[in-house]
Amino acid sequence: MQLMTPCDETADRQGRMHRPWGPVMGAVREIGNEELARRATALNRQMGLAAPLGAPAARIYDPLPALLTAAEFAVLEDCIKQRANLLSLALEDIYGAQNLMRSGQLPPALVFAAPHFLRPLHTRGPLATQRLGLYAADVIRAPDGRFLLLRDHTGVVPGLGDALSLRRLATGTLPELFRAGGLRSIRPAREMLVDHLQREAEGGLVAVLSGGLAQARESEDGFDDALLARALGVMLIEPGDLAARNGALHIKTLSGLLHVATLVRGVSGLDLDPLEQGGRPGAGIPGAFGAIRAGVLSILNAPGSKLLESSALRPYIQQLFAPLLGEPEKLPLADAGSEHLASQAPFLGPDQEIIKAPLCLRLFAWHDGREWQVLPGGLGLPLAVGGKPPSLGIKDLWVLDSEEPRMIAGVPPAEPPEHVKFLAAAHLPSRLADNLFWLGRSVERLEAAARLLMLALPRLESGTSLPRDIAERTLISRCLGQAGLLPPDVAGFAISGRLLRQTLAQRRPVDKLLQEVARLVDASSERLSPSMLATVRFALQQAREALPNEEAALPAMLSFAATFAGIAAENMSRDGGWLFLEMGRRLERGETLAETLAILLNGPVGRLEPGMALGIEIADSVLSYELRHAGIFAPGPVLAMLLADLSNPRALAFQCHALRACLERLGADDDAETARQLHQEVTNLAGGGIALNTALGGIAAKLRQLSDRVQRRFFTLLPEAHTLEEGEILEAAQ
């Protein structure tokens, strides 16, 4: 008996290299293993930055491709289309007429007992769109050269975002490999998929539904969802962004609730609708099943479609080709435990050497309304050996182009949908706007704390007992208490630098500020480009690493704040998320400055000099003041610079003016008028009126009230998350 041994993807049984691999492996030899390893590191870094979820890539990516010739892909394409068509017909019957179970071709006991069979999705007639819209198949090459099906993916289809993003990034990282051999572009197919999704939406919104940052950190699927959303140019949303109204699903955006017509599902169907399935409302979307049944929501794939991945049903499904399609199977199943017979392909190993390991090919298909289309590419996946998870990377699957031109055709292209024009950030999800707003506030809060501590530590450690120094230390102590850096029972006294350091070490307020900024950077990363995100995270990591040493940590925090402000000013477009980031920054800076000056300028005019000097220093305006006024402190010039100077980005009037501009662009005319009145009030105050501390405290309170109104206007769109009125509950349940 002849033992079966895996075949080699790159060479035949006589050791001669397959012709398609010759140019590729020649380019690999010219690059060299050491340089190839550096390129692999760069590729993995870029893939990690490509997804906007603030989580590192859960997968490893291999720089070497997997290859299919044009003839091999033509065979697989035909097989994938046949199998996708069969599974789609079977799924429609299971959730519709159920003739296959009545005839005994599918065992009812196995179907109804399967955890992924969802009874609420059983309907008498078909849904508005077919239940199986996306499909992926894992295939292996057997020792005899045939392709065998390893598994189906009919529920959440994993890896499509990886496949679309890996090709784009690998092209720039390894141009030598792409010059070595002609391969079929996946761009036309991607554009056809985008066009199909927009056509199905009929002007409604298209989005990728993901479990969010938590899912991305726990599994690979959440990371893939983020890549897919960017590759398709659609929104990435979470269940908490959606609400059911009048039987349909809507996303909570700044322009109100906008109808969502098509979702690419990245969450399990078991958790999608707690209204009909039970569970926590925050973990799903109550009313989703009702919207699907009513035909106002299209989901790729429909909940319950993962039923077809059941290993118990696979043998029965394999017998349905003749009854449903009238033809024999074209892609046979791989035997259980046959992964060790999969063909061997070259991978870059952990020791920077090229090794051979079992390879699985994942191909993707979607239905365009008329027929199934197969992506001329995909992923090459390393298979586990000996039950151990593979430690090798995922490959880009190349389909080599034949000499004959190939025309890719589908249904006629759809007209791009016309979006409702409401305001500068109309389609920004309210969750993202909220996160960006508070990110701006948190960064400003961190910068203000760093500036105050850099001013406080040397003065509190001086130890002198002169009346001016004691007055300065008392004012600084009050400012530290106002900023939350000192407890109330200590603030207001002339404390020592040692006591301040001990308090900071025990309470760790700066560390908490850094943690909050890091959390909000991750939560807002969808609106930051990969390069922006990498720069911000690097600066933030430097600040966190330097934290145990105050002398190094405080400048690092100021460096991070400056980096963040520079990126926001020079890299972000002046609409959308930038408006809320800017509003958060200006509100926080204005409120902090007003509260601080209320403390520093509390007293008779003749005793304001220590407070004025501290105010100029805290506002980082020392150089400007010295150049203008030769360093001589007087109430008029100080108040003009700190309060009314529109050329000074640290002045209170500057914050009010910037707030007014943002609110006007967002259509909040009444709040913009409030900001204008505050601007006028601040300008009048700079004239040297009495009771400065009371007036400044009132301005800080008005800024807090304005912040509350902004949040109610833009972020609190629903009285309660995922709330349905009684009539809507009945309608959704029908």
Q: What is the DSSP string of 453-477?
A: HHHHHHHHTS----HHHHHHHHHHH
Q: Report the distance separating Cα 61 and Cα 646, nearest Å.
A: 51
Same domain for 395 and 456, yes or no, is no
Same domain for 570 and 645, yes or no, is yes
Give the pLDDT band of residue 723 (cuts 50, 70, 90): very low
Same domain for 537 and 388, yes or no, is no
What pLDDT is recorded for position 386? Answer: 61
Query: Quick check: bond before 301 cis, omega within 30?
Result: yes
pLDDT tens sequence across 440-461: 999 999 999 999 999 888 888 7
Half-sphere exposure of 608 (CA within 13 A, CB side): 26
- pLDDT(8) > 60: yes
Cα separation values, 591 from 483, 636, 653, 700, 703, Å: 11, 21, 11, 5, 6
Q: Report the distance separating Cα 326 and Cα 417, nearest Å.
A: 40
61 forms beta bridges with 394
Give the pLDDT band of residue 729 (cuts 50, 70, 90): very low
Q: Among the listed ranges 129-133, 180-184, 279-283, which one has the minimum average pLDDT value?
A: 279-283
- pLDDT(412) > 70: no
pLDDT tens sequence across 637-672: 988 999 999 999 999 999 999 999 999 988 889 999
Number of helices (H) and strands (E), helices first, in the chain?
A: 27, 14
Same domain for 298 and 380, yes or no, is yes
Average pLDDT of the residues in 679-699: 85
Same domain for 385 and 469, yes or no, is no
What pLDDT is recorded for position 606? Answer: 61
CA-CA-CA-CA torsion sign (614, 615, 616, 618)? positive
What pLDDT is recorded for position 727? Answer: 40
Q: Report the distance separating Cα 407 and Cα 673, nearest Å.
A: 58
Distance from the first to the final alpha carbon of the chain: 62
Q: Evaluate whether residue 674 is within a structural domain.
A: yes
Same domain for 131 and 170, yes or no, is yes
- pLDDT(71) > 50: yes
Q: Report the distance separating Cα 134 and Cα 58, nearest Å.
A: 23
What pLDDT is recorded for position 240? Answer: 86
CB 170 within 8 A of CB 386: no
- pLDDT(243) > 60: yes
Q: Evaluate whether residue 423 is within a structural domain.
A: no
Name the pTM for this structure. 0.80
What pLDDT is recorded for position 315? Answer: 93
Q: Which helix (H) or strand (E) is 346 found in, with range?
A: strand 344-348
Please list, residue by residue across 636-675, b when 16 or more beta carbons sit within 10 angstroms of its beta carbon and e when fewer do: ebbbbbbbbbeebebbbbbbbbbbbbbbbbbbbeebbebb
Q: Evaluate whether residue 296 is within a structural domain.
A: yes
Residue for token pair 């009929």: 202
Q: Evaluate whether residue 561 is within a structural domain.
A: yes
Q: Among the listed ranges 133-147, 391-405, 592-606, which one has the minimum average pLDDT value?
A: 391-405
What pLDDT is recorded for position 453? Answer: 92
Contacts of 336 (CB under 8 A, 6+ apart): none
Q: Report the distance separating Cα 114 and Cα 354, nearest Å.
A: 43
What pLDDT is recorded for position 696? Answer: 93
- pLDDT(252) > 90: no
- pLDDT(545) > 50: yes
- pLDDT(322) > 50: yes
What pLDDT is recorded for position 321? Answer: 95
CB 143 within 8 A of CB 5: yes
Gyration radius from the chain CA atoms: 31
Average pLDDT of the residues in 630-642: 86
Same domain for 56 and 105, yes or no, is yes
Q: Tell me which of 351, 381, 399 is where a domain ends.
A: 399
Most confident of 260-264, 347-351, 461-465, 631-635: 260-264
- pLDDT(408) > 60: no
Number of domains in the chain: 2
Residue for token pair 């609106």: 527
Residue range of the domain that includes 239: 21-399
Q: Report the distance separating Cα 481 and Cα 498, nearest Å.
A: 16
Q: Among the listed ranges 13-27, 485-499, 720-734, which one has the minimum average pLDDT value?
A: 720-734
Give the pLDDT band of residue 1 (cuts 50, 70, 90): very low
What pLDDT is recorded for position 294? Answer: 92
Same domain for 320 and 435, yes or no, is no
Same domain for 658 and 516, yes or no, is yes
- pLDDT(13) > 50: yes
Same domain for 338 and 460, yes or no, is no
Q: Evaluate whether residue 212 is within a structural domain.
A: yes
Average pLDDT of the residues in 269-290: 80
What pLDDT is recorded for position 700? Answer: 94
- pLDDT(366) > 90: yes
CA-CA-CA-CA torsion sign (542, 544, 548, 551)? positive
Beta strands in 130-214 (DSSP E): 134-141, 147-153, 205-209
What is the DSSP-derived secondary structure letter of residue 157?
-
Q: Which two tokens stand for residue 417?
A: 């949908």
Q: Report the distance separating Cα 568 and Cα 420, nearest Å.
A: 27
Q: Evaluate whether residue 602 is within a structural domain.
A: yes
Q: Evaluate whether residue 534 is within a structural domain.
A: yes
**Rounded percentage of the chain residues whose pLDDT exceeds 90:** 50
Same domain for 436 and 309, yes or no, is no
Q: Evaluate whether residue 441 is within a structural domain.
A: yes
What pLDDT is recorded for position 465? Answer: 67
Give the pLDDT band of residue 19 (cuts 50, 70, 90): confident
Q: Report the distance separating Cα 132 and Cα 301, nearest Å.
A: 5
Same domain for 385 and 439, yes or no, is no
- pLDDT(3) > 60: no
Give the pLDDT band of residue 426 (cuts 50, 70, 90): low
